[in-house]
Amino acid sequence: MQLTDAEIREILRQQKIKKKRKLRTRRRITILIVLVLIALAVYFIKGQIDTIVAENTPPRGIIFIDPGHGGKDPGSGNGARYEKEDTLRLALAVRTYLEEAGFQVFMSHTEDEDVDRIRRGEMANECGAQLMVSIHRNKADTGGDGVEAFIPKDNNAESRLLGTNILRNLAAQGFTLRSVRAGTLQSTEEDYDENAYSKMPSCLVEVGFLSNMHDNELFDNNLENNAKAIANAIDDTFRTLYEPAAGTDGTTDGSAGGTAGDAASGEANDTASSEANGSANGTANSVQDTSTEAGAANGAAGTSTEAGAQGSAADTASGTSDTSAQAGTADNTSNTSG
């Protein structure tokens, strides 16, 4: 059969259209591939740059976090619950928040491991830590609740500030506020090894009582916020002690003022003064019995009159007690932030 010229032309036209379509599709696919490749390249390069920046940005500071107990030493227990597990859980979360805030964090252990208590203090020195916090949980045969901190027996103002900030933030999470104590539970003349062997400002913090159901609920149901509270307190303390210039732009005024206000209003409330006076004098004090009350007074005053107390922190503190450690903290804080 013979095709007419018109038919041949039509076939050629159809072929041309098909070819054009194919070309167009191919071009579109090529463009798409190129775009995807460009996107991937940008993503990859940006990732590399971010890594390089992160690697070359020096950390704000070095913090040592010690989860109390571990391995063969379970710490306190309550049924199937062990202190060493609670402290590790919380410490790991604290580390995350500190790293997010730009700190380099070292830990005595990150798994269920036995580490000598003296060694923990030495490790903090070896890694050049600027602050050290050892995390524990309390236990009592009867009664007892709340958060408490132990600082070195020399009652240095920097460690006291660290302990005070941590307890303040944990109390804001619902824990009863006990006190910051110099020395050990038994004696103001002795130190816990972690405090004795570490050379930077340090404290042991007892995050509620294992023996208290309510404290355990506060611990378990709010773990991330508790960790954040501790990390923020460490951050605040670090800023006051090592980044004093930051205080002039007002960023630390709030927290520093809060500390001063707490101390001052605690004193002003007069039930709270036993803790500050007792430990400042370095004598065996009556903290144990009155600390809960004192703490509660502190806490209440802290939340309700914080702002009002800020201005008169130094005045009130020095008016109440010349040798008070809390007054010292208030003075320091006012100076640094002001």
State the residues that interact with Zn ion by CB under 5 A: 68, 75, 136
State which residue, 82 or 103, has the beta carbon closest to Zn ion: 82
What is the per-residue DSSP string for 97-151?
HHHHTT-EEEES-SSS----HHHHHHHHHHTT-SEEEEEEEE--SS---SEEEEE
Q: Is 65 helix (H, G, I), strand (E, B) or coil?
A: strand
Closest CB to Zn ion belongs to which residue?
136
Q: Whose Cβ is closer to Zn ion: residue 211's or residue 298's?
A: 211
The burial of 158, by beta-carbon neighbours within 10 Å (0-12 exposed, 13-18 middle, 19 or more buried), is given as buried
Q: Which residues contact 122 (CB under 8 A, 6 or more apart)?
A: 197, 198
Shortest Å, Cβ 83 to Zn ion: 5
Compute the least distance from the CB of residue 57 to Zn ion, in Å. 35
Q: Which two tokens stand for residue 33?
A: 């591939």
8 Å CB contact between 185 and 138: no
177 SS3 class: strand
Minimum distance, C-beta of residue 109 to Zn ion, in the bound complex (Å) = 14
Q: How far is the CB of 167 from Zn ion (least distance, A)?
A: 16
By C-beta, is 124 or 264 nearer to Zn ion? Answer: 124
Question: Which residue lies nearer to Zn ion by CB, 75 or 201?
Answer: 75
**C-beta of 75: minimal distance to Zn ion in Å?**
4
Task: For Zn ion, give the closer residue by CB, 61 or 75.
Answer: 75
**Separation between Cα atoms, residue 122 and residue 118, nearest integer Å:** 6
